[in-house]
Amino acid sequence: MALSSSISSSLCKPSSQNAHSPDYNSNKIFNSRCGPFSSLHQFPIFKMGYGCQWGRRKSSSTPLISASLMDVSLDKSKEKVQLPKGDIWSVHKFGGTCVGTSERIKNVAEIIVGDDSERKLVVVSAMSKVTDMMYDLIYKAQSRDDSYLSAVDDVLEKHILTAHDLLDGDDLDIFSSRLHHDINEIKEMLRAIYIAGHATELFSDIIVGHGELWSAQMLSSVIRKKGVDCQWMDTRDVLIVNPTSANQVDPDFVESEMRLEKWFSQGPSKTIVATGFIASTPQNIPTTLKRDGSDFSAAIMGALFRAGQVTIWTDVDGVYSADPKKVADAVILNKLSYQEAWEMVNLIAPLLCLKSYFGANVLHPRTIIPVMQYDIPIVIRNFLNLSAPGTMICRPSIDENEGSQHLDSPVKGFATIDNVALVNVEGTGMAGVPGTASAIFSAVKDVGANVIMISQASSEHSVCFAVPEKEVEAVAGALQSRFRQALDAGRLSQVAVVPNCSILATVGQKMASTPGVSASLFSALAKANVNIRAIAQGCSEYNITVVVKREDCIRALKAVHSRFYLSRTTIAMGIVGPGLIGGTLLDQLRDQAAVLKEDFNIDLRVMGITGSNTMLLSDSGIDLSRWRELVKEEGEVADMQKFINRVHGNHFIPNTVLVDCTADSNVASHYYEWLRKGIHVITPNKKANSGPLDQYLKLRALQRESYTHYFYEATVGAGLPIISTLRGLLETGDKILRIEGIFSGTLSYIFNNFKGTRSFSEVVSEAKQAGYTEPDPRDDLSGTDVARKVIILARESGLKLELSDTPVQSLVPEPLRAAASAEEFMQQLPQYDKDMAKQLQDAEDAGEVLRYVGVVDVINQKGLVELRRYRKDHPFAQLSGSDNIIAFTTARYKNQPLIVRGPGAGAQVTAGGIFSDVLRLASYLGAPS
């Protein structure tokens, strides 16, 4: 608003030209020198000789649109028009982005004209960036930077160009004349600031408020051009606020309502375009609702009109369940209660895809207050996507409050604040001493710091609170100074600062009195290997706030968002060993990926594949439809450390699993390190669990103490549930007496086919050609692989056995164990067929069969691997092909052992066993079961 238009000429009425201008409202009355702005002369800037320039306006032949404050002494004899209130009014608020260009202003007009509400109030901000430009003018002027003059011209040019696009005829002439007049007066005010080297709050408020005045006038003209009766309102004539000491203002609803009645009686209209952000004090001094106050303006006006709805138009589809830049699967929330919005309001910037709360453009923290009293819903809509219904903030219905029949998550959304530091004041002298907390926060207040979160244990031994990181140094210094005597005397032990933190808030009205919400939240964080540094929850139970390391923030956000069914359970996978088993697993993942996403809400992303020589890495996930080609085309030299860092280093995916499909003991030696880093491990590799006992015990102890998972079902029975069956027996209190089984699919095939007149070497050769054996059959015939499985089961049963403690009957003839190659071994093996033929004949003569078995004798605490004979009616004699069979003799299954039987070898079933472990991990991490 131009100052000279507020401090009027000595005439107490507008010129006839003004009165008849298309953009003039009859309620706009110039104030005399003894009117509302007479008090301005008490401010220092008016005592410097400049006040006379703005004290009165010379008459001009050019029509001007008045932006004056309403004279409180309106002619009471004038017939008043009663202001209708209630649901007939709809309030719309358009931010700077929505009116940022002439084209967007036209779009706003279309929205208003298209609204079929009986009456409409439109609250507008300044055009995009204009408020920042106005503040910049003030800063440059008080810094005595002459470039403020050219910057003023930029403001003028922006609005002139926009007006020429929107207006024509008298509307354009009137607006242009007024705009130039306002700009000239702004230059005069900036000149005064330039000379003084200081800008008062009054001058700043007057200058920055012009942007809203100009955008409101242009929009009202555009709406009138469409044939709609429309007036524009300078809300300084209506909205009265009382400034507080906290750089805020409190609306005076009683006085504002009176002034609104008077304003409306002078110029009734069914469509009103009102300025956001600006207001007046009870002394009629211009002021603002402070930064981002247009939302607050709309809510206040909605309350004054008792409107049916307040719609806040922005550039996103609504309020998200989490920042979609951090959580790709964040969803638009259809509804929020006032209480939920209240909890989220200071964190709502990231939910609206805007900047952080501190110093940014967000939903004004007090927007909800005025509308709550009258149950007026607020709707967040997307100006750029009118088809999106947006998010409604309202009082929940009775059905929603009692919605026990609904399966909705009790959590509505999550938000984060970065760049936070924790301050911890602790000492035994704090307990039971009244006033300690008061002294702490008084010191914080004295340095002007904002406390975001407070946490204190009932022991009163310490008080912990979070502040913006940029303020923590001043806070720590103030506390050190304030409690110097207590620190020196030992009553306080320390004032500690924990930098590089982030806050994660979980909000939902249904969290109140819902058991298990906190447990689920903390469990999800633990499973994502996120450490919580501080916790706060109010007794309303609508908000649980935790403080975590800054580098853990996104992982934490993804983990909790996934846990409460608001997004998929996403796991970053690294595949070590893309050979036969690993390659088959990758193909299975490829074939099942879409089904897992759509039907089971599981997103498995392979971020890396590494062999012994080459590895392939990706930041977003490898295309499994052509992973073999990509390894050849884009593969790089294998580097295990780099591989781990890339797969685990993606903070946008909360959980990482490494799948070791090798039989390499060197790879297995890394498991402990990976688990300590919070990386889950899944493997068919037997080396870790059958290796040195002390390393195995260390690995299992770590697994039990942490939330990282180590799954190895495929180490014993490929795809058969051997480990899980054993654990189920033990966990339900059964006692294992003996485990006996045919654990090798290769040896099962050999002895199932070694019968009649067939020679042993012939059957081994057949098995090798069929792909059942290792490249060197001695690896199978030695019995070492079976021995490792026996040791794994023995250790699972509680026995502390080393591999060397287990006697193993090798089927490799002693002279052939040193054969130079597999080919040489196969050539010489027929020489020893007689020994095996005799054993077969002896068994057949007794009505028995030969089977190569492993035995865990829990009672005698030993294991053994040997070739045994079984009656032909024994379950072990009934096998065919490469099936495995394992018999569990327990206290419950003593007379008739529990038997697990099925294919125990082959790439498909082994990869399937690994895949099953991956899905079990996903279930543990929060995927629906």
Residue 661 in this model has a pLDDT that exceeds 80:
yes
Q: 815: which DSSP letter?
A: G
Round the average pLDDT of the chain to a whole number and report it: 86
Tokens representing 148 are: 């403020």
Residue 545 DSSP SS3: strand
- Report the distance separating Cα 272 and Cα 122, nearest Å: 6
Tokens representing 416 are: 């984060």
> What integer pLDDT is reported at residue 52 of this predicted model?
29
Residue 572 in this model has a pLDDT that exceeds 50:
yes
Whether 461 contacts 430, CB under 8 Å = yes
Share of the chain above pLDDT 90, in %: 66
Residue 845 in this model has a pLDDT that exceeds 80:
yes
Residue 23 in this model has a pLDDT that exceeds 80:
no
Catalytic residue at 129? no
- Report the distance separating Cα 141 and Cα 189, nearest Å: 9
Q: 678: which DSSP letter?
A: T
Q: Which of 22-31, 102-111, 485-494, 565-574 has the lowest mean pLDDT?
A: 22-31
> Which of 390, 417, 381, 388 has its CA nearest to residue 97?
381
> Which of 772, 739, 785 has its CA nearest to residue 893?
739
Residue 615 in this model has a pLDDT that exceeds 60:
yes
Whether 507 contacts 411, CB under 8 Å = yes
Higher model confidence: residue 717 or residue 78?
717
- Report the distance separating Cα 225 and Cα 468, nearest Å: 49
- Report the distance separating Cα 95 and Cα 218, nearest Å: 15
What Å distances lie between residue 862 and 181, 350, 702, CA to CA? 100, 61, 26
> What integer pLDDT is reported at residue 326 of this predicted model?
86
Average pLDDT over residues 30-42: 34
Active-site annotation holder among 28, 789, 834, 894: 789
Confidence of residue 703 (pLDDT cuts 50, 70, 90): confident
Residue 225 in this model has a pLDDT that exceeds 70:
yes
Convert the pLDDT of each residue in 381-397 to its tens digit.
Answer: 999 999 999 999 998 87
Which residues on neighbouring strands pair with residue 273, listed in sequence order?
122, 232
Tokens representing 85 are: 């209130």
Q: Taking the mean position of all CA atoms in its chain, how far away is CA 717?
A: 40
Count of CB atoms within 10 A of residue 612's CB?
A: 14
Whether 782 contacts 812, CB under 8 Å = yes
Average pLDDT over residues 676-683: 94
Whether 698 contacts 613, CB under 8 Å = no
Pairing of strands 736-742, 883-890: antiparallel
Convert the pLDDT of each residue in 400-430 to its tens digit.
Answer: 544 443 446 788 889 899 999 999 999 887 8
Confidence of residue 562 (pLDDT cuts 50, 70, 90): confident
> What integer pLDDT is reported at residue 566 of this predicted model?
59
> What integer pLDDT is reported at residue 533 of this predicted model?
93
Q: Residue 306 — left, alpha, or beta (φ > 0 → left; ψ -120 to 50 → alpha)?
A: left
> What integer pLDDT is reported at residue 927 of this predicted model?
67
Count of CB atoms within 10 A of residue 133's CB?
A: 18
Pairing of strands 655-660, 680-682: parallel
Angle, vertex CA 674, rays to CA 668 and CA 677, nearest 5 = 170
Residue 3 in this model has a pLDDT that exceeds 80:
no
- Report the distance separating Cα 161 and Cα 130, nearest Å: 14
> What integer pLDDT is reported at residue 80 of this predicted model?
62
- Report the distance separating Cα 186 and Cα 237, nearest Å: 20
Confidence of residue 589 (pLDDT cuts 50, 70, 90): very high
Residue 921 in this model has a pLDDT that exceeds 60:
yes
Most confidently modeled range among 47-51, 678-682, 716-720: 678-682
Confidence of residue 327 (pLDDT cuts 50, 70, 90): confident
Q: Residue 562 — left, alpha, or beta (φ > 0 → left; ψ -120 to 50 → alpha)?
A: alpha
> What integer pLDDT is reported at residue 17 of this predicted model?
32
Q: 808: which DSSP letter?
A: B
Convert the pLDDT of each residue in 197-219 to its tens digit.
Answer: 999 999 999 999 999 999 999 99
Confidence of residue 363 (pLDDT cuts 50, 70, 90): low
At 806, give phi and psi (nearest 5°).
Answer: -100, 115
Residue 459 in this model has a pLDDT that exceeds 80:
no
Residue 174 in this model has a pLDDT that exceeds 80:
yes
Angle, vertex CA 316, rays to CA 312 and CA 321, nearest 5 = 100
Share of the chain above pLDDT 70, in %: 87
Tokens representing 289 are: 């609702």
Whether 205 contacts 286, CB under 8 Å = yes
